[in-house]
Amino acid sequence: MSNSLFADASRRLEKALKYVSISEDASLRLKYPKASIRVSIPVRMDDGSLRVFQGYRVRYDDTRGPGKGGVRFHPNVSIDEVQSLAFWMTFKCALLNLPFGGAKGGITLNPKELSKSELERLSRGYIDAIADFIGPDIDILAPDVYTNAMIMGWMMDQYSIIKRRISPGVVTGKPLTMGGSQGRDSATAMGAFYAINTILPKFDRIPEKTTIAVQGFGNVGSILAELLSKAGYKVVAVSDSQGGIYAEVGLDIPSIRQYKNKQNGMKAIYCKGSVCNIVEHKVISNADLLALDVDVLIPAALENQITADNAHDVKANFIFELANGPITSDADAILESKGIYVFPDILLNAGGVTVSYFEWVQNRSGLYWTLNEVNQKLKEKMVEETQNTWAISQDLSVSMRTAAYIHALNRLGEAMDAKGTRDYYLKKV
């Protein structure tokens, strides 16, 4: 069996294809990316030396609209990873019924090793290299792992310089002053929050009696942890790349977020004085967190965190995937055999691309919405498609992951078939 991330991702598609009646043309086209580009980005470093970084952009499918997907800066970025992420984004956009196809990009580096000036030169150099491959009606960029609003602003500005016109629609997740949308920075977490609140009541779960562990305390995981905590859920464990903490009575998530934002770490988490509650806690590893006896586990870090090697150790009743691809296809079967409900990434983390769509619409219309308007529109989208996916899961007796792919496949198949298939061309007039 291939160790490729894309090969593993594709196995989910094969499973869902058994339940849909889309044309052979459509199913064949969805097995291959439409276009890929690999670029070298020379950057003059602050000490005068020159480094060359490898960058990628994949546009997997644009049948339903221009490509849409983030750009990540990470040491593990590869063409295989970027292609897999673009594949997932294709189905995510279809699942949420957004007029986009799927795309993704990235640069292989450790961004923590670069100064802000070097990161700016790298970001602008990336756009120099791929400018002819992207555009507001071709392929739209967004933030991802280790990229943020400032970096998106640099990228939008560089594209505008190259094209000699202001082009806010080429990038979403920008600063508000450059055409960004209210609510974009919290959109992924907020969307997941709406989905979780839609699902758990179906199992008669109430917040006060539900324990939660969150792996990945970055921007998305930390915001979701705080939203859940404020809603009454008991968040008992969180972790970042350096490790985590656990307290059976629950954690003071706002204080942890405040400390991490200031110190970029989670050591000595609890502040002194009256501003937060001091509770005893254990220091745990990321592996320990995944095996905790909790009601809900939320992987919000990177892909391939739960595999066939550790799936047997998972004790949670529900897993909500906030990261892209945190569970391998081999682990899916093990978790299902244990009676664990898994709610897939292409649904749970779709809030980010949904509000990116809202930002793109606002850029094109010149009319901008309030935070309440954005959150209300996001809630309507997430609740509607969560309910639709749940209904498919129940009707066909399939997992929520398979149901999500079925729902997306039906929309993608209809769009592809509208352009003509073998049956159409062979049909006698």
The pTM (predicted TM-score) of the whole model is 0.89
Verify that 216 and 255 share a domain, yes or no.
Answer: yes
**One domain, residues 147 and 189:** no
Looking only at the bridges linking them, the beta strands covering 101-108 and 211-215 are unpaired
Sheet containing 243-246: give its strands across.
Answer: 282-284, 243-246, 234-240, 211-215, 296-299, 318-320, 341-343
Residue where the block lists tokens 């996916």: 389
Residue 19 belongs to a domain: no
204 and 301 share one domain: yes
Asked if residues 273 and 294 have their Cβ atoms less than 8 Å apart, the reply is: no
Residues facing 296 on adjacent strands: 212, 318
Strands laid side by side in the 35-44 sheet: 35-44, 50-61, 101-108, 67-74, 139-143
Per-residue pLDDT at 274: 29
Evaluate whether residue 249 is within a structural domain: yes
Q: Of the candidates 178, 211, 239, which is a domain's last residue?
A: 178
pLDDT score, position 250? 92
Considering the domain architecture, whether residues 99 and 83 belong to the same structural domain is answered as: yes
> Are 77 and 193 members of one domain?
no
Classify the phi-psi angles of 339: left when phi > 0, otherwise alpha if psi is within -120 to 50, otherwise beta.
left
Q: Where are the beta strands (DSSP E) in 292-424?
A: 296-299, 318-320, 341-343
Q: Give pLDDT tens digits for 123-176.
A: 999 999 999 999 999 999 999 989 999 999 999 999 999 999 999 999 999 999
**Which range of residues forms the domain containing residue 56?**
33-178
Q: What integer pLDDT is reported at residue 108 of this predicted model? A: 98
Q: 158 and 225 share a domain?
A: no
Domain edge (last residue) among 124, 144, 178: 178
Q: CB neighbours of 379 closer than 8 A, spacing ≥ 6?
A: 194
Shared domain check, 345 and 239: yes
Question: What pLDDT, on a 0 to 100 scale, did the predictor assign at position 429?
Answer: 55
Rounded distance between C-alpha atoms, residue 320 and residue 292, angstroms: 15
Residue 164 contacts by C-beta under 8 Å, 6 or more apart in sequence?
A: none
Per-residue confidence (pLDDT) for residue 428, from 0 to 100: 62
Work out whether strand 296-299 and strand 211-215 pair parallel, antiparallel, or are unpaired.
parallel
Q: Helix crossing, 371-396 with 400-417: angle to 10°?
A: 100
Positions annotated as catalytic residues are 104
Answer whether residue 158 is part of any domain.
yes
Answer whether residue 5 is part of any domain: no
Total tally of structural domains belonging to the chain: 2
Longest dimension (CA), the chain: 81
Residue 130 and residue 260 in one domain: no
Same domain, 188 and 165: no
pLDDT of residue 410: 93
**CATH code (residue 429):** 3.40.50.720
Say which residues have a Cβ less than 8 Å from residue 59's Cβ, sequence separation at least 6: 33, 34, 35, 36, 67, 86, 101, 102, 103, 133, 138, 139
Among positive and negative, which fits the CA dihedral 214, 219, 224, 227?
positive
Query: Mean pLDDT in the chain?
Result: 91
For residue 299, the cross-strand partners are 215
Per-residue pLDDT at 177:
95
In a domain, 10, yes or no: no
- Same domain? For 74 and 107 the reply is yes
* pLDDT tens by residue, 265-317: 544 443 333 223 445 678 888 889 999 999 999 999 888 899 999 999 999 99
β-pairing, 101-108 vs 50-61, is antiparallel
User: Which residues does the chain have with pLDDT short of 70?
Assistant: 1-3, 262-280, 424-425, 428-429
Handedness of CA 30, 380, 399, 143 (dihedral sign): positive
Please state, as a whole number, how many other Cβ atoms lie within 10 Å of the Cβ of residue 165.
Answer: 8
Last residue of a domain, one of 178, 199, 221: 178
